[in-house]
Structure 1
Amino acid sequence: KTRLSYFLQNSSSSPKMKSKKVGKHCTYFRPSPEEAQLWSEAFDELLANKYGLAAFRAFLKSEFCEENIEFWLACEDFKKTKSPQKLTSKAKKIYNDFIEKEAPKEINIDFQTKNMIAQNIQEVTHTCFSAAQKRVYSLMENNSYPRFLESEFYQELCKKTPIARAAQGT
């Protein structure tokens, strides 16, 4: 809880965290309670929102399972890669970081899926990690996402707060 609060304070008050992309709705400012409530409608709503994604990532970190969202994001980036050389190097990095036995951020997937990926990266395609990504997405959607929605952290985001009064001197 403390980590999440710290994360929220820093990301919502720091002007440096504001995205530099012009014309896109990509800021890290605290969402309105209405915007935060939209995240409960669908897991994709949460992942599509920059702040929602950052909040969910911080929540996963507090539960010691942030490797799931990191893997999912790495796969999303991987699928957008155009260059065959970059595709191959990214595939190897994803495999080394998340898939192989004793990987630093090893994800929890079955042996068959791991073997299938090991074969798939011999001839790299954009779909090398699709099965594993679907499993991790499902795991997050069915386990972590409901816990996130029940968390005190998320509930605080959804509360309508009265306008803060000016701080009184001590």
Structure 2
Amino acid sequence: MNSYGLAAFKAFLQSEHSEENIEFWMACEDYKATKSPLKLAVKAKKIYEDFIEKEAPKEINVDHYTKDITMKSLIEPSTATFELAQKRVLSLMEKDSFYRFQKSELYLELIK
């Protein structure tokens, strides 16, 4: 997806009050590109606090198993720390939000 498509999809998610999914996915992509172990640890903590922990300000909808696996992987953060949660969110967006986005006026205008 190009930057215009991503911006349009994000705007669509905002209109549905579910932009936390794409924000989480983008945070994970940034996280995986981080080379410094110290920065990985700092970013991992922030992503967890923002998106995963109970009552997080942008809490994503993932099951307890995924939350537990993610929390355990925070002990030694690696580029794979959020892999399972990111896959679950991507799957949710593909099957649900993106399907509706493709039928939206916003998308139809984008592809003209």
TM-score computed with the length of structure 1 as normaliser: 0.65
Q: Which amino acid aligns with 1:68?
A: N
Q: Find the partner of 2:5 among 52, 55, 72.
A: 52
Confirm whether residue 74 of structure 1 aligns to residue 31 of structure 2. Answer: no
Counting matched residue pairs gives 112
Q: Which has the higher helix share?
A: 2
Please report how far the alpha carbon of residue 140 of structure 1 lies from its aligned counterpart in structure 2 after TM superposition.
0.5
Q: Find the partner of 2:103 among 136, 143, 150.
A: 150
TM-score computed with the length of structure 2 as normaliser: 0.97
Would you say the 8 A contact 2:5–2:110 is kept in 1? no
Give a deviation string over 1:70-104, Cα, whole Å, max 9, x none. 00000000000000110000000000000000000
CA RMSD of aligned residues (A): 0.7
Give a deviation string over 1:37-93, Cα, whole Å, max 9, x none. xxxxxxxxx2xx011100000000000000000000000000000001100000000
Q: Find the partner of 1:61 among 3, 11, 14.
A: 14
Higher relative contact order (CA 8 A, sep 6+): 2
**Where does the alignment leave 5 or more consecutive residues of structure 2 unmatched?**
none
Please report how far the alpha carbon of residue 126 of structure 1 lies from its aligned counterpart in structure 2 after TM superposition.
0.6
Q: State the distance in 2 between where 1:61 and 1:109 align.
A: 19
Give the 5 Å matches for 1:1-170. Answer: 46=1, 49-159=2-112
Q: Which amino acid aligns with 1:59?
A: F
Please report how far the alpha carbon of residue 141 of structure 1 lies from its aligned counterpart in structure 2 after TM superposition.
0.7
| Structure label with greater radius of gyration | 1
Q: State the distance in 2 between where 1:81 and 1:157 align.
A: 32
Q: Which amino acid aligns with 1:112?
A: Y
Please report how far the alpha carbon of residue 157 of structure 1 lies from its aligned counterpart in structure 2 after TM superposition.
2.4
Q: State the distance in 2 between where 1:88 and 1:101 align.
A: 20
Q: State the distance in 2 between where 1:138 and 1:100 align.
A: 20
